[in-house]
Structure 1
């Protein structure tokens, strides 16, 4: 590791596999007395951070650092420059991510100075984050809803993080919301009327994902996603290799009947991907598959399905978004996934996340469907000039 000393505090750049393991393990100390925290699977985090395995690094560069006091890791941070983000989020926009630290202003200041200096060296004039590593992965810092464990691919945080970032001159750029949905409750009457109209409309057809043709199916889903989201804040398109990796990562946990695509007049027009909440299954494993963690994984994922799910991806092509057809497809997708989840897998609750706070149309639809806002995440920004 390369290091820079600041009194008894030193910042070391991660340059070895041992260092990467330490980077992944570091948060366990921060959350050791937090009952809501769930340690991510170590091999999964390694796959994200390994620059030789993650196709994100085909269009991006990143470095990782750990803050140390003596032999104790007291914080960590990453900095990223994504070439695709330059085209979609603005030239000179760099990212930070994986921020974790004890409640010490000196540690936060040293970590952010290190990340910001690296970003400036790479020509960045603005920093946005946290992204772990990109906007298409874990996004934002939890600022409300700390009592709830994180769902699959969503982050957790300590309440003091927000104040520590503001002390480093970071301001809020966007608010991201997570909605909780009780799958066992009857739907509100208004939602039932819309669904009835959808089922009677012969122009709309909905089918389940074809898992035997998974890569091509996900390409179709992402084609809709890229069209649907291209005008939204923060959007960065997924590359073909990232889609292939997604298919490989998800093939064991995807439930075809809970991932559905809607057609309007025969055209692929909307989709919804619902994933079992892997975090519910891995919580007892403390991030480790061995010696006995694999038993929990097989029992709760391969041989059954958790009672909770998350909807990480959903989209309607732009040309349908301002029409009744878009609302019909969206609500019908949610309802069909809810019905199939209850019938086939014992679904009880779902999280729909993340939703932009200023996406009033989507938020209104979710409220009409009986969902409730229960978590808030924040993306921060800072000028580097």
Structure 2
């Protein structure tokens, strides 16, 4: 028998956070998050989304053992912005048991109905800067940073529960070339005549100066993408505090126009997932060293975010990022680049990745169901 319980105490929260560490502890492809980040995420004092929106965490028990978890969310600002009554659920992790998965889903659906929601979608967090989508293709490689991980059986259980595709994201793998493709070179020469300036950030002080303007530009450049909800000032500050310590300024590039106005940004970083696996969720005593070593020795570049102002998107400015990044990755002796999750219909970015011989190696899906 499966028993569902609301997370209502510190001990419950500890079980909720620790469950994936037990479920995936022998899985070579799972990348554990830092426990300190997990506790900060679920702390309303540190995460403004938990102060602004209804939510509920659930645990599933079978034979008196934790067998699954899930979080239900109502993003009130997003629902108002998009004029919808949407229940989101995320962090669905279960043992390989359809009864556990279906019990958790029924519980969040019932919770959503009591709040007047009409549709459910997941995995979707509060916003786009959180992990979203379940893996439906590409289970045989190590998970990426800031992304969900799941095993194939979860997809079967979602479909059995009446969920269907809402949208897909794809991830591209690219070998680092010795030089840019001919098309990129032609466009780069043309752009040099137009007084655009593309440069990386030099140090952490410059990163702190630019991170908020970049996040504000993200609001503008992502506004028409699936499910995006503009961030507010409190979220800007929370994201800046979270990412400044781990980002390397040399791998963050900005584009300015002739008036030195910010019109584009690219945020990438060395792939640190091997280091996170060795850290096993802890920074101390040795986790920090493993992550730092991975950051310095990784042969893989991980794209995180790219944004270009709408009026400049047809001018090929992605080429400026590619040219600048190529110099950095070659200097770091990197050999592979991974995109992060890209909406499959986002041709503004995907076309450029394909020109770099990018090949889709993983696919994520958000599932939806009428309540």
TM-score normalized by the length of structure 2: 0.93
The alignment status of 1:166 with 2:153, answered yes or no, reads: no
80, 85, 94: which one aligns with 1:92: 85
The alignment status of 1:374 with 2:361, answered yes or no, reads: yes
Gaps of 5+ in 2: none
Equivalent residue, structure 2, for 1:336: 324
As a proportion of its length, which structure holds more strand? 1
282, 293, 306: which one aligns with 1:314: 306
Contact 1:149 1:156 in 2 (8 A): no
Deviations 1:341-385 (A, max 9, x none): 331x3333222121111122322111102222111000111111x
8, 21, 24: which one aligns with 2:14: 21
265, 275, 284: which one aligns with 1:281: 275
Deviations 1:118-148 (A, max 9, x none): 1112221111210244322111111111111
Q: Measure the CA separation in 1 of the matches of 2:76 and 2:360.
A: 34
Decide whether aligned partners of structure 1 residues 277 and 164 sit closer, same or farther in structure 2, where only a CA change above 3 A counts: same
Q: Give the 5 Å matches for 1:216-255.
A: 216-255=209-248
Contact 2:171 2:341 in 1 (8 A): yes
Q: Measure the CA separation in 1 of the matches of 2:226 and 2:113.
A: 23
| Superposed displacement of residue 64, structure 1 | 0.7
| Superposed displacement of residue 213, structure 1 | 4.3
Contact 1:177 1:356 in 2 (8 A): yes
Gaps of 5+ in 1: 1-7
Measured on the aligned residues, the alpha-carbon RMSD in Å equals 1.9
Decide whether aligned partners of structure 1 residues 169 and 263 sit closer, same or farther in structure 2, where only a CA change above 3 A counts: same
Q: Measure the CA separation in 2 of the matches of 1:58 and 1:350.
A: 37
Q: Measure the CA separation in 2 of the matches of 1:268 and 1:22.
A: 44
| Superposed displacement of residue 305, structure 1 | 5.2
Equivalent residue, structure 1, for 2:290: 296
Contact 1:257 1:337 in 2 (8 A): no
| Superposed displacement of residue 60, structure 1 | 2.0
Q: Give the 5 Å matches for 1:76-115.
A: 76-115=69-108
* 3-state secondary structure, aligned to 1:149: coil
Q: Measure the CA separation in 2 of the matches of 1:360 and 1:296.
A: 37
The alignment status of 1:258 with 2:246, answered yes or no, reads: no
Equivalent residue, structure 2, for 1:126: 119
Q: Measure the CA separation in 1 of the matches of 2:45 and 2:126.
A: 14
Contact 1:135 1:235 in 2 (8 A): yes
Q: Measure the CA separation in 1 of the matches of 2:235 and 2:303.
A: 19
Contact 1:11 1:66 in 2 (8 A): yes
| Superposed displacement of residue 308, structure 1 | 2.3
Equivalent residue, structure 1, for 2:338: 351
* 3-state secondary structure, aligned to 2:229: coil
* 3-state secondary structure, aligned to 1:124: coil
Q: Give the 5 Å matches for 1:148-159.
A: 148-159=141-152
Contact 2:31 2:144 in 1 (8 A): no
| Superposed displacement of residue 186, structure 1 | 3.6
Q: Number of paired residues? A: 369
Q: Measure the CA separation in 1 of the matches of 2:81 and 2:327.
A: 37
Decide whether aligned partners of structure 1 residues 109 and 57 sit closer, same or farther in structure 2, where only a CA change above 3 A counts: same
| Superposed displacement of residue 174, structure 1 | 0.3
- Is 163-172 or 277-286 further displaced after alignment? 277-286
Deviations 1:224-267 (A, max 9, x none): 21111111211111222222122222222211121111123323
| Superposed displacement of residue 223, structure 1 | 2.2
Q: Measure the CA separation in 1 of the matches of 2:48 and 2:165.
A: 29
TM-score normalized by the length of structure 1: 0.90
Contact 1:175 1:377 in 2 (8 A): yes
The alignment status of 1:383 with 2:370, answered yes or no, reads: yes
| Superposed displacement of residue 26, structure 1 | 1.0
Q: Measure the CA separation in 1 of the matches of 2:248 and 2:216.
A: 20
